[in-house]
Amino acid sequence: MEILLGLFYVLVFPGLLFCFAIGLLLLGIDRKIVARMQKRIGPPIIQPFYDFFKLMGKERIVPNKAAKKIYIIAPVIGLISIITIALFIPIDYFKTFFNNYADLVVIVYLLTIPSLAIIIGGASSGSPFGGVGASREVVLMLGYELPLVITLLAVGMKIGRLTNTAATFSLINIVDYQIKNGPAFLQWSLIPAALAFLMVIPCEIGSTPFDIADAETEICEGTMVEYGGILFGVYKLTQGIKIFVMISLFIAMFMSGIIPAVSSSIFVNSLVSIVWHMALVIVILFIAVSLLRATTARIRIEQAFKFYWTYPTALSLLSLVLVWAGL
Amino acid sequence: MFDDIITKSKVKSPWLYHLNTGSCNGCDIELISILTPRYDVERFGIKLTGTPRQADIVVVTGPLTSQSKDRALKVLSQVPDPKVVVSLGSCPMSGNVFKGSYSIEAPLDRFVDVDVSVAGCPPKPEAIIDGIIKAIEILKDKRG
Ligand code: SF4
């Protein structure tokens, strides 16, 4: 029974099948919102599904100069690790036994793997554009990891203090605390951290002002220059799931427990919280990703780096200091 | 069943790659204009990609100068199947005003199979969209 349930979790609900659907759907919703904001009709919402299946039907080419095994395996590793994170994040009342192992530190480590996979894949493709893209991705990672880690520290420390333990990094404790005592973004010392996290989201998923590593107009899609066919489809899918995972992480850390328990049965509660979670995901997608994508143009790599090491870092440090001072 | 989905998706998501072989930039600007809010070809799922590896439709502009000929043919051979080649403007069709020059190799169809040709100097955006829709119909019947 336990094993069957585990398989269901891994393959169907928060795992593979669900991630596949929600990742591509979120990409489609994002494209549609941006199109409507620019007064265009825009592609249908299921457009990324068409893209994915078309890419499946394309000829598979592995360039001669590429390191073949790494080139093929890199996107797959990225996809697997991002799906693993999706298993770890609790959705309000919906919890799997994977959540007991969920730890913010593990999630930070796993979150770097898709970016690393992109870097390795791009560098292994044997194209100079891939090399340039990979180096830009490294710089971006250095940029956004710092505020991200400080934000997680601030939240862990705050919830730890409120529950009279040392800092807690277990996501399930953080969510449980919020279900009992209301969402964490109402603690005013955590508001700067929440803002910093919102600023990290567009860079982590590589959407427009920060899509410097795969800029199609200047470096021919950067790291993705040699990827075509299904491997590129896997990369796109990873990007979609990353949107879901980042926003879910935000909701789990700052906005859990907004809706009260509607009934005594866990099943009904889980169902309601999943629906609510999806609605929240779309709202935050609009605020943090689409709005920015529709109104800004790509910035240069050193501008992005400077931005991340000033404003988001300052905000998250402010939060950490406030929490440390006991506010 | 799976093949059906892939065939349907092929029609719904053609990605363009724009290959300039020494054009005067008139055609290029007109091609970009079809992606603007006024014409919005993204509603057909059309997207401009930066690399030939992801392209389904290659749009070639310019009179194929001697300098760019080898490179253009190399790029065209990098596009994975199924692919469709569209020649945009009068330049790749005949050489246009540059015809007879020592430094151009037009017409393009001496070297590759061109599926759709859109004439004009430069063609109107409506004509370009029409040409691309024709290209999508050809793409449907091509096998990967
Ligand atoms: S067809 Fe006319 S507009 Fe187009 S590239 Fe040739 S000369 Fe320029």
pLDDT in tens, A133-163: 888 888 888 888 889 888 888 888 888 887 7
Q: What are phi and psi of A170, to 5 degrees?
A: -85, 125
Number of separate helices (H) and strands (E) present in chain B: 5, 5
Give domain limits for chain A: 2-324
Which amino acid type is present at position A139? V
For the stretch A246-305, pLDDT in tens is 898 888 888 887 777 777 777 787 788 888 888 888 999 998 888 888 888 888 888 888
Q: Which ligand 1 atom is nearest residue B26's CA?
A: 3
A220 interfaces chain B, CB cutoff of 8 Å: yes
Q: What is the pLDDT of residue A224?
A: 79
Q: What are phi and psi of A87, to 5 degrees?
A: -70, -30
The Cα angle at residue B100 between residues B128 and B86, in degrees rounded to 5 = 20
> Chain B neighbours among A 55-84 (CB < 8 Å)?
55-61
Please give the order of strands across the beta sheet that includes B47-48: B47-48, B15-20, B57-61, B84-88, B116-118
For the stretch B119-130, pLDDT in tens is 888 888 999 999
For the stretch A158-204, pLDDT in tens is 888 877 777 778 888 888 788 878 787 777 888 888 888 888 888 88
Q: What are phi and psi of B16, to 5 degrees?
A: -95, 145
**CA B134–ligand 1 middle distance (angstroms):** 21
**CA B24–ligand 1 middle distance (angstroms):** 6
> Chain B neighbours among A 118-137 (CB < 8 Å)?
129
Beta bridge partners of B117: B87
Token pair belonging to A147: 């505020």
State the total domains in chain B.
1
Question: Is residue B11 in some structural domain?
Answer: no
Q: What angle separates helix B125-141 from helix B26-33, to the nearest 10 degrees?
A: 70
The residue whose CA has the least distance to atom 2 of ligand 1 is B121
Q: What is the ipTM of this complex?
A: 0.86
Could you tell me if the CB of B121 is within 6 A of ligand 1? Answer: yes
Structural domain range at position B84: 16-143
Q: Say whether A94 sits in a helix, a strand or coil.
A: strand
Question: Is residue B2 in some structural domain?
Answer: no
Range with the poorest average pLDDT among A97-106, A118-127, B47-56, B125-134? A97-106
The residue whose CA has the least distance to atom 8 of ligand 1 is B24
Question: Is residue B64 in some structural domain?
Answer: yes
Report whether the peptide linkage leading into residue A202 is cis, meaning its omega lies within 30 degrees of zero: no
Distance CA A118, CA A52 (A): 18
Count how many residues are written for chain A: 327
CATH code of the domain covering residue B95: 3.40.50.12280
pLDDT band with cut points at 50, 70 and 90 for residue B144? low
Question: Is residue B72 in some structural domain?
Answer: yes
Distance CA A129, CA A305 (A): 20
Question: Is residue B3 in some structural domain?
Answer: no
Q: What are phi and psi of B101, to 5 degrees?
A: -70, 150
E strand spans, chain B: 15-20, 47-48, 57-61, 84-88, 116-118
Output the average pLDDT for chain A.
84
Which amino acid type is present at position A319? S
Dihedral (CA of A250, A203, A27, A63) sign: negative
Which residue in B33, B54, B141 has the most chain A C-beta atoms within 10 A of its own C-beta, making it the best mutation to test that interface?
A: B54
Closest residue on chain A to B10 (Cα):
A54
Nearest alpha-carbon partner for B67 in B18, B113, B21, B114: B21
Range with the poorest average pLDDT among A27-36, A233-242, B93-102? B93-102
For the stretch B6-46, pLDDT in tens is 778 888 888 889 888 888 888 888 888 888 888 888 888 88
Which amino acid type is present at position A155? V
